[in-house]
């Protein structure tokens, strides 16, 4: 689109929203594992709007707390250090925040555009500008933690550091307390890779040294792969700075000091700023010609803000443009037949009733009782139409879900009072209860029970087919059938699962015969004779457990479904809780994924599927 020419943004795609909060969107600036970044307009200027992915946020209260802290700290950052925070909604689903749009390009893009490493004067300028920003950040006792070429934005006036989404006040850092490893391997400091030391401004200085080496040599100083090999070299080997030594010996010596293994041996950001400032004055154009030309295009785009025409916000539950689409469909169908006797007239009232039928989300209270005592009240979503509601009253008894976690996943709030501890594996929840009466309001067809296939026989007039509330999700609720009510045999709450055997074991994979090991702050699969291959099981009362590495004393933890698995501080429960799944699987409570082999190294959590790569045999 011509309207986006020079912006660096791509047109919105079909799944993209037209606005986020009150901010209309013009295009997509980028996407990553945590969220998407859009170009929007607010108060007469362009802004960058970052919306987190729903799959990342889910109902993780710990993540939402950290995100709130991140926004608080982002608001504290000086405007000359990064793109300032302009708006946010941490309570939105999913959460989002907006910062000023930076009319620039990343250092990685600049190297590609220039066709190779930057010249000496541009490298000194890069050091001066980055050190100036870091000095301001470190003065607030904050740490960036993920400084890399794609987080350094060159502009006509200098540069801006971006993506402080993982920044923290150092004394409040949740990541530091839990030992979580955050960063890009090729630009991590040794203390960050090993997780054995509190991070500080010196961590960012190490990363800045690696960024400068990349800008001067075209590659990071310890290699650019993402596996554990680069982490080993960062901790144990010396950097490769030969091209920089030939180009700028003085700068090479300074970069080498930044890459010292001991944080105390590195210069501070103010010291780097003072050294780089001696190389001035730096005059326009600041960057090589090809880079300056692209930056001029970005600046021209930002100076000419265009209004964005976005349709009126739709009713809750409808997508923008639904009314226009409906009109087009009506025109294609032609005139509708006369209404039947007793039906609504073909006017605004009838159209409104049809629209409510499409978007209505009723919330049905499910009251769970046992022996006459109410244990929990859970509101389950229930899609219905006015016509169906007029035909029956939802009074069918149904069985309460065996796993309260499944109820939380299907409720609008995502929270529920636990009726009983969850089963060790999703498959174990089937048929796990039996005995005393359990009654709930709002059922459709049979619920899980002692009948054939786990279903209760249909009641009088029932269809005999099951349907979960909310249109088929496993949220533990059912809808009443149109033909009448159904009655299910009663069940008693399941007993808590037996805790796993305590002790110290090796866990051998069913695919490659390797065992779970620890490499610095991450997990891996390796020789079962490795000293880090032994894990102590710390059992918990609900049948879950933690796996503590016997060598390091750190715990195996998941970082979410589809993410790498790390090893860190055992103090926190989030992500560190595992359960025994079917077929010897290890299932994480964070995201529900099963421990699986990575592509070439490291372990990940993936959707549980029973593959050999998810089977772990426990051996003494």
pLDDT for res 308: 83
Residue 22 has pLDDT above 90, yes or no: yes
- The count of other CB atoms within 10 Å of the CB of residue 588 is 26
- The count of other CB atoms within 10 Å of the CB of residue 5 is 10
3-state secondary structure of 107: helix
Phi, psi values for residue 175, rounded to 5°: -70, -40
Q: Which pLDDT band holds residue 496 (cuts at 50, 70, 90)? A: low
For 582, which DSSP code?
G
Q: Which pLDDT band holds residue 318 (cuts at 50, 70, 90)? A: very low
Angle, CA 16 vertex, CA 13 and CA 18 arms, to 5°: 110
Q: Which pLDDT band holds residue 480 (cuts at 50, 70, 90)? A: very low
The answer to whether 439 and 370 are in contact (CB under 8 A) is no
How far apart are alpha carbons 275 and 119 in whole angstroms? Answer: 18
pLDDT in tens, 525-547: 888 998 889 999 999 888 899 99
pLDDT, greater one: 335 or 159: 159
Burial of 158-174, coded b for 16+ CB within 10 Å and e otherwise, reads: bbbbbbbbbbbebeebb
Question: Which H helix or E strand runs over 253?
Answer: helix 249-258
- Say what angle helices 120-138 and 201-217 make with each other, to 10 degrees: 170
Nearest-CA neighbor of 160 among 253, 86, 214, 80? 80
Percentage of the chain beyond pLDDT 70 is: 62
Tokens of 252: 């090479």
Q: Position of tokens 């923290």?
A: 168
pLDDT for res 187: 93
Tokens of 282: 């730096």
Beta strand residue intervals within 126-176, DSSP E: 142-143, 152-155, 158-161, 168-169
The answer to whether 205 and 267 are in contact (CB under 8 A) is yes
pLDDT in tens, 261-299: 999 999 999 999 999 999 988 999 999 999 999 999 999
Tokens of 615: 């089977």
Chosen CATH of 106-309 out of 3.40.50.280, 1.10.510.10, 3.40.1160.10, 1.20.140.10:
1.10.510.10
CATH, range 503-619: 2.80.10.50
Tokens of 328: 């087009």
Fold of 1-101: Phosphorylase Kinase; domain 1 (3.30.200)
**What are residue 262's DSSP bridge partners?**
none
How far apart are alpha carbons 255 and 150 in whole angstroms? Answer: 19
pLDDT for res 56: 63
Residue 405 has pLDDT above 80, yes or no: no
pLDDT in tens, 151-182: 999 999 999 999 875 433 333 333 333 444 45
* Residue 134 zone, left/alpha/beta (φ > 0; ψ -120 to 50; rest): alpha
Q: Position of tokens 């923008």?
A: 320
Domain ranges of the chain: 1-101, 106-309, 357-497, 503-619
Residue 562 has pLDDT above 90, yes or no: no
pLDDT for res 277: 95
pLDDT for res 383: 38
In whole angstroms, how far apart are CA 391 and each of 192, 394, 445, 464, 471?
63, 10, 15, 18, 19
Q: What pTM does this model have?
A: 0.53
pLDDT for res 79: 80
Q: Catalogue the active-site residues.
A: 146
How far apart are alpha carbons 496 and 436 in whole angstroms? Answer: 16
- Sign, Cα dihedral of 183, 253, 155, 137: positive
Label each residue of 317-359 as H, E or C: CCCCCHHHHHHHHHHHHCCCCCCCCCCCCCCHHHHHHHHHHHH
How far apart are alpha carbons 87 and 151 in whole angstroms? Answer: 21
pLDDT for res 334: 47
Angle, CA 114 vertex, CA 110 and CA 115 arms, to 5°: 115
Angle, CA 554 vertex, CA 234 and CA 544 arms, to 5°: 140
For 533, which DSSP code?
G
How far apart are alpha carbons 620 and 618 in whole angstroms? Answer: 7
């Amino acid at each position: 689109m011509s309207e986006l020419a020079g912006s660096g943004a791509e047109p919105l795609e079909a799944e993209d929203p037209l606005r986020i909060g009150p901010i209309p969107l013009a295009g997509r600036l980028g996407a990553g594992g945590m969220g998407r970044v859009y170009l929007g307009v607010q108060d007469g200027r362009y802004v960058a709007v970052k919306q987190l992915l729903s799959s990342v946020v889910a109902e993780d209260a710990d993540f939402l707390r950290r995100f709130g802290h991140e926004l608080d700290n982002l608001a504290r950052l000086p405007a000359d250090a990064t793109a300032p925070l302009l708006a946010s909604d941490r309570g939105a689903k999913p959460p989002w925040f907006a910062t000023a749009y930076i009319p620039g390009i990343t250092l990685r893009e600049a190297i590609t555009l220039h066709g190779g490493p930057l010249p000496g004067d541009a490298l000194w300028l890069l050091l001066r500008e980055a050190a100036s920003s870091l000095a301001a950040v470190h003065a607030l006792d904050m740490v960036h933690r993920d400084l890399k070429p794609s987080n350094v934005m060159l502009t006509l006036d200098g540069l801006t550091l971006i993506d402080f989404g993982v920044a923290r006040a150092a004394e409040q850092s949740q990541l530091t307390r839990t030992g979580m490893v955050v960063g890009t391997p090729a630009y991590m400091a040794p203390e960050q890779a090993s997780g054995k030391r509190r991070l500080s401004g010196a961590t960012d200085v190490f990363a800045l040294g690696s960024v400068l080496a990349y800008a001067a040599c075209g590659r990071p100083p310890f290699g650019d792969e993402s596996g554990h090999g680069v982490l080993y070299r960062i901790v144990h080997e010396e950097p490769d700075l030969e091209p920089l030594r030939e180009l700028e010996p003085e700068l090479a010596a300074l970069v080498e000091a930044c890459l010292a293994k001991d944080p105390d041996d590195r210069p501070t950001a103010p010291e780097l700023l003072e050294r780089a400032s001696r190389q001035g004055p730096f005059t326009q154009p600041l960057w090589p010609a090809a880079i300056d030309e692209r930056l001029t295009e970005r600046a021209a785009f930002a100076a000419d803000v265009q209004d964005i025409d976005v349709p009126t916000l739709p009713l809750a539950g409808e997508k923008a443009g639904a009314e226009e689409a409906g009109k087009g469909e009506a025109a294609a169908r032609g005139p509708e037949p006369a209404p039947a006797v007793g039906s609504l007239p073909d006017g605004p009232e009838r159209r409104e009733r049809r629209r409510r039928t499409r978007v209505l989300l009723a919330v049905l209270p499910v009251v769970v009782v046992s022996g006459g005592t109410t244990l929990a009240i859970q509101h389950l979503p229930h899609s219905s139409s006015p016509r169906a509601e007029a035909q029956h009253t939802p009074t069918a008894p149904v069985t309460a879900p065996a796993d309260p976690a499944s109820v939380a996943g299907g409720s609008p709030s995502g929270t529920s009072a636990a009726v009983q501890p969850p089963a060790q594996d999703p498959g174990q929840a089937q048929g796990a209860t039996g005995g005393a009466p359990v009654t709930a309001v709002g059922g459709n067809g049979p619920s899980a029970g002692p009948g054939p296939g786990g279903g209760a026989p249909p009641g009088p007039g029932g269809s005999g087919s099951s349907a979960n509330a909310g249109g088929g999700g496993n949220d533990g609720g059912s809808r009443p059938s149109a033909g009448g009510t159904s009655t299910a045999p009663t069940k008693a709450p399941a007993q808590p699962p037996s805790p796993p055997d305590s002790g110290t074991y090796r866990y051998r994979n069913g695919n490659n015969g390797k065992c779970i090991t620890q490499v610095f702050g991450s997990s891996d699969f390796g020789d079962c004779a490795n000293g880090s291959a032994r894990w102590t099981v710390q059992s918990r009362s609900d049948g879950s457990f933690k796996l503590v590495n016997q060598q390091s004393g750190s715990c195996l933890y998941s970082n979410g479904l589809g993410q790498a698995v790390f090893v860190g501080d055992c103090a926190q429960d989030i992500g560190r809780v595992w359960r025994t799944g079917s077929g010897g699987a290890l299932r994480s409570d964070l995201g529900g994924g099963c421990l699986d082999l990575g592509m070439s190294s490291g372990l990940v959590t993936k959707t549980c599927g029973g593959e050999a790569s998810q089977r772990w045999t426990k051996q003494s």
